């Protein structure tokens, strides 16, 4: 009868992703623990195994938010908005993890907590953008309007990324960020732990997203039941 009931068992996907996460999490713990210690940076280099996966998960989260925002505006179905909203929340969590883990590593390696490196600046802006997205949702009366405004903002949030990139390329300071993937600069024995940590990051993202979507749906069903009385 409603979109909330249309998909009765998100439980299965949730369980599967939970098991995958558990397996990858164990592998992550073992591999990262036993990964070699970087000869120059020391043990602090292992932050990489948290930092980079968080970055990937955060970017993925924001991309999903924009995509499902477009779907929501186009089709007008609440379930798309539920995914967009959930994805933004989970994305902000990973983005925060990235922004917090970065400076800890930077203090140890660059000697400063923060530098205005292009990628740092972009990430900070993204973080602000999606915090604004969540605030916009919570400050807008009427969930239909909140969903519509948020979808629009999510689209603009993606549009601003290339512009900000371009601006920082033009005027920003020189890039200090290590290009681990492009230059293949990972040391011996680091590749497997890195790969697994990225996969574990995606699994964590998927699990949290499904959990969050499931929560939203349950809440919708409950509210509807209360309203019908």
Partner 1 sequence: MTGMAIHAKGLEKRFGRNPALRGIDLSIPGGSRVALLGPNGAGKSTLLRLVAGLSRPTSGHLSIAGLGAGKPAARQKVGLIAHETFLYPHLTARENLLFAGRLLGVPELGARVDKLLEEADLRHVANRTAGSFSRGMAQRLSIARALVHDPAVLLLDEPFSGLDGRASAKLAERLSELRQDDRTLLIVTHDLSRVAQVADSALILLNGRIAREIRGAALTSESLETLYAESTEGSP
Partner 2 sequence: MRVLAAVLWKDLVSEWRSRERVVAMLVFSLLVVVVFHFALPGGATARNASQAPGLLWVAYVFAALLGLNRAFSIELENDAISVLALAPVDRGWVFLGKFLANFLILGAVQIVVAVVFAVFFQLDFSGIVPQFAGIVALGSAGLCSVGTFFSAMAVRTRFREVMLPLLMIPPLLPVLAAAVEATVGLFTEGKVPPGSLQLLLVADGIYCIASFILFDYVLDG
Could you list the residues that contact partner 1 (CB under 8 A)?
4, 76, 78, 81, 142-147, 220, 223-224, 227
What's 174's DSSP letter? P
Rounded least distance, CB 131 to partner 1, Å: 22
Cα separation, 124 vs 113, whole angstroms: 14
Does residue 141 touch partner 2 according to CB under 8 A?
Answer: yes
Does residue 170 touch partner 2 according to CB under 8 A?
Answer: yes
Residues 6 or more apart whose CB falls under 8 angstroms from that of 45 comprise: 37, 38, 105, 109
Does residue 174 touch partner 2 according to CB under 8 A?
Answer: no
Cα separation, 43 vs 26, whole angstroms: 20
Does residue 116 touch partner 2 according to CB under 8 A?
Answer: no
> Please, which residue, 41 or 143, has the CB nearer to partner 1?
143
Of 115, 119, 104, 93, the closest CA to residue 182 belongs to 119
Question: Which of partner 1, partner 2, none binds 223 (CB below 5-8 Å, type-dependent)?
Answer: partner 1
Does residue 91 touch partner 2 according to CB under 8 A?
Answer: no
Q: Which residue has the tokens 């020391």?
A: 42
Does residue 63 touch partner 2 according to CB under 8 A?
Answer: no
Residues 6 or more apart whose CB falls under 8 angstroms from that of 188 comprise: 36
Does residue 157 touch partner 2 according to CB under 8 A?
Answer: yes
Both tokens of 164, joined, read 């900000």
Site for partner 2, rule CB under 8 A: 73, 125, 128-129, 131-132, 135-136, 139-141, 145, 148-149, 151-153, 155-157, 159-160, 163-164, 166-168, 170-171
């Amino acid at each position: 009868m409603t979109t909330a009931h249309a998909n009765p068992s998100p439980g299965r996907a949730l369980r599967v992703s939970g098991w995958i996460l558990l397996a990858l999490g164990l592998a992550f713990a073992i591999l990262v623990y036993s990964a070699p210690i970087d000869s120059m940076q020391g043990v602090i280099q292992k932050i990489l195994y948290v930092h980079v996966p968080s970055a990937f998960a955060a970017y993925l989260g924001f991309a999903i938010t924009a995509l499902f925002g477009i779907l929501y505006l186009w089709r007008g179905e609440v379930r798309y908005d539920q995914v967009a909203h959930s994805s933004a929340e989970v994305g902000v969590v990973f983005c925060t993890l990235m922004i917090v883990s970065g400076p800890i590593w930077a203090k140890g390696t660059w000697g400063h907590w923060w530098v205005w490196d292009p990628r740092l600046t972009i990430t900070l802006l993204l973080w602000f953008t999606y915090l604004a997205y969540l605030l916009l949702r919570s400050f807008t009366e009427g969930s239909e309007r909140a969903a519509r405004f948020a979808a629009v903002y999510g689209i603009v949030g993606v549009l601003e990324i290339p512009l900000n990139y371009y601006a920082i390329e033009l005027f920003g300071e020189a890039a200090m960020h290590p290009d681990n993937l492009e230059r293949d600069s990972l040391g011996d024995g680091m590749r497997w732990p890195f790969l697994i940590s990225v996969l574990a990051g995606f699994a964590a993202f998927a699990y949290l997203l499904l959990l969050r979507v499931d929560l939203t749906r349950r809440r919708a069903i409950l509210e509807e039941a209360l309203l019908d009385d």
